Structure 1
Amino acid sequence: VAEDGPVALAAQIHADGFRAALVGLGGRIVATTPGCETVDADPAKVLGTVVEAGAELLRSTGRRCVGAGLAVPSAVAEPDGLALNPLHLAWPVGEPVRRIFVECVRAAGITGPAFAGNDVNLAALAEHRHGAGRGARDLLCVATGHRGVGGALVLDGRLHTGSSGLALEVGHLTVNPEGRPCHCGSRGCLDVEADPLALLVEAGLDPGPEVSLLQQATDLLRTRYDEPAVRRAAETLIDRLGLGLAGLVNILNPDRIILGGLHRTLLEADPDRLCAVVAARSLWGGQSGGVPILPCTLDHDSLVGAAELAWQPVLDDPLGTLG
């Protein structure tokens, strides 16, 4: 593949900021913008800003663009591309994020099709093609980034999104019936029992505003894991995560599980405990050595997955698209 070949523009929005990147074939990140730490309550303003940042990358590198992809922390309903539950953003429910993104892409003078999808779905797509999920037929991905917990499934090599794009809302599996109230109206969901905020609270810490919750939780595990309060908090989250994974193993029978965000760090902290919980709690988890549970390996995998959406028409018909 030519080093100076075409790229896709990828954009990602999350609770603590947003970023744009240019991504070549094979998931290779060519250039990225610095991450922005403030997400406006107006989706059009945020998407316009991130697309313009990506357009500046295109101008500065002189690359040809095949299209654009957007990753958002929300289920994206098809066929209209509506963000149904941007719970950790101050965005209205049901915003037409794909239409807004397309309009911003066109306004910036960027050619090619534009797409939008859920960030964990896109992370799973990227990891299946280029990372820890390569070679898996039925791949389950569970991740917690800055807030909440998401999941995705690749079945027989294809991303499974359900009848209208809303499949695998694993964050709303109940893993602690007497636990914290969840944004969905239930209680004790994985979304609020196994994310960065949950770890900090379990450890008895007051999260500070200076650094993202994900960074605070990751630093805690990597620098203070030997402290009894931190270890107990980590074990509590591992047990809750394992309980959720065991239920998913019973239903989905994946041949591999990959974990992203803070869950990757929890796995690295105590892989034996997590695997033991999944094996003990799942019908099939203890047989034949159990289901392999691996950490995600790509940097910015949601960005890479967003770019894969834009690359797909090229992969389907290279001459027709690029000619």
Structure 2
Amino acid sequence: MSGKADPRPAGEGTTSRARLDRGRGALGPALELVHTGRAPTRAVLTAELGVTRATAGAVAAELEALGLIRVDARPGAAAGSQGRPSHRLTVDEDGPVVLAAQVHADGFRAALVGLGGRIVATTPSCEAVDADPAKVLGAAVEAGADLLRRTGRRCVGAGLAVPSAVTAPEGLALNPLHLAWPVGAPVREIFAERVRAAGLDGPAFAANDVNAAALAEHRHGAGRGARDLLCVATGHRGVGGALVLDGRLHTGSSGLALEVGHLTVNPEGRPCHCGSRGCLDVEADPLALLTTAGREPGPEGSLLQQANELIRDEYADPVVRTAAEALIDRLGLGLAGLVNILNPDRIILGGLHRTLLDTDPERLRAVVTDRSLWGHSGGVPILACSLDHNSLVGAAELAWQPVLDDPLAALSGG
């Protein structure tokens, strides 16, 4: 030590170098706070990080220099406020993006997604899914690469959401039941190869579509602020579930946690693909609603679209109403069992389940309360998912995670 006194006030850091080192360690946490909207100003960022104003300023400046956020040094003060207003922090709308792709039973879609869960550009949904996953994923990546060429944006990674349990870290699709893909298809490896072949930068990831949706909703949607978030959803076929614990997706020891579709909710019910009978997967999805209402699926539109339209347009029909109530009761039984096991502080529902909740929220909540121990102790909030294309946004979150963990390393390739 030189023995020289630091002329700056106590608490402002001993040297610029030390401040810079601390700031670099805070880059990832700071970016995540701005990314999720939890640090709209530099003052909030300072408090959330537990650092000095000078360090928070250095962190924000470095993230801005990396093209990830913008710092508004001249924000307008709110009417009636006192003191100098804090610098406003937002994600850079012209910054880098990630490529996100989602495959489901009725098609696939690609998109470019920026920080903040913002969809920058998207392709129309393709309504054909080949039995060869390499063809589907190749087409999705090429569609995304075309978006990148047209927008001129920098790509820093890619994420894929599929309707199957996906092992970690291998990325094998173990049960693509509603696709004609082979069991155990190496979707992450195929996707990564197609991303590299298209000349795109950054790592590639793959996950179950409901896991991806839960992650997106927790960071940007109806799950924001929840500590232990349970997400249950049915899209085009089947039922999926996901759990976010302390801000991180809970995937179990090998990526296969929360296969909620195979909870039995009707012991004498329909045969399930898993070999059992009466599983949530076949008792509370769009096909189950159409079948229970005595309607044959039509050639126009996805099963999800047909089921939603049936409730929207014909709920006054006693047969349709009875069918919807039967699905609500079965869904409630499944949710009650999950509440007893997991004790979440919030439940969010997506796809057709969101429509059922909107249609008769009191019936669903009553079933969950009546059948769950924790429901009797005060109830668990049950909300509708709020993001459009939440599985796409969640696939993007997978690709953004390395940048959130270490922005400097991720963007420099180090």
Q: Is 2:394 the counterpart of 1:300? A: no
In the other structure, the counterpart of 2:170 is: 80
In the other structure, the counterpart of 1:60 is: 150
The more displaced of 85-94 and 2-11 is 2-11
In the other structure, the counterpart of 2:282 is: 192
In the other structure, the counterpart of 1:216 is: 306
Aligned length: 322
C-alpha displacement of 1:190: 0.2
Q: Distance in 2 between matches of 1:50 and 1:314?
A: 23
Q: How does 1:150-165 map to 2 (within 5 A)?
A: 150-165=240-255
In the other structure, the counterpart of 1:17 is: 107
Q: Is 2:268 the counterpart of 1:172? A: no
C-alpha displacement of 1:79: 2.3
Tell me which of 117, 122, 128 is aligned to 2:207.
117
Q: Is 2:390 the counterpart of 1:318? A: no
Q: Distance in 2 between matches of 1:122 and 1:214?
A: 19
C-alpha displacement of 1:155: 1.0
AA at the equivalent of 2:326:
T
Secondary structure of 2:374's aligned partner: coil
C-alpha displacement of 1:158: 1.1
Unaligned runs of 5+ in 1: none
Cα shift readout 1:141-187 (whole Å, capped 9, x = no counterpart):
00000000000000121110000000000000000000000000000
Q: Distance in 2 between matches of 1:206 and 1:100?
A: 36
Secondary structure of 1:140's aligned partner: strand
Q: Distance in 2 between matches of 1:229 and 1:287?
A: 35
TM-score, scaled to structure 1: 0.99
In the other structure, the counterpart of 2:229 is: 139
C-alpha displacement of 1:320: 2.0
In the other structure, the counterpart of 2:8 is: none
Q: Distance in 2 between matches of 1:77 and 1:154?
A: 17
Q: Distance in 2 between matches of 1:176 and 1:137?
A: 31
Q: Is 2:215 the counterpart of 1:103? A: no
Secondary structure of 2:325's aligned partner: helix
Cα RMSD of the aligned pairs, angstroms, is 0.6
Q: Distance in 1 between matches of 2:184 and 2:366?
A: 40
C-alpha displacement of 1:210: 1.8
Q: Distance in 1 between matches of 2:156 and 2:95?
A: 10
Q: Is 2:404 the counterpart of 1:309? A: no
Q: Is 2:334 the counterpart of 1:231? A: no
C-alpha displacement of 1:80: 1.1
TM-score, scaled to structure 2: 0.77
AA at the equivalent of 1:108:
A
Secondary structure of 2:237's aligned partner: coil
Structure possessing the higher relative contact order (Cα contacts under 8 Å, 6 or more residues apart): 1
Secondary structure of 1:76's aligned partner: coil
Q: Distance in 1 between matches of 2:152 and 2:100?
A: 16
Q: Distance in 2 between matches of 1:240 and 1:203?
A: 15
C-alpha displacement of 1:286: 2.4
C-alpha displacement of 1:211: 1.3
Tell me which of 275, 279, 282 is aligned to 2:372.
282
Secondary structure of 2:179's aligned partner: coil
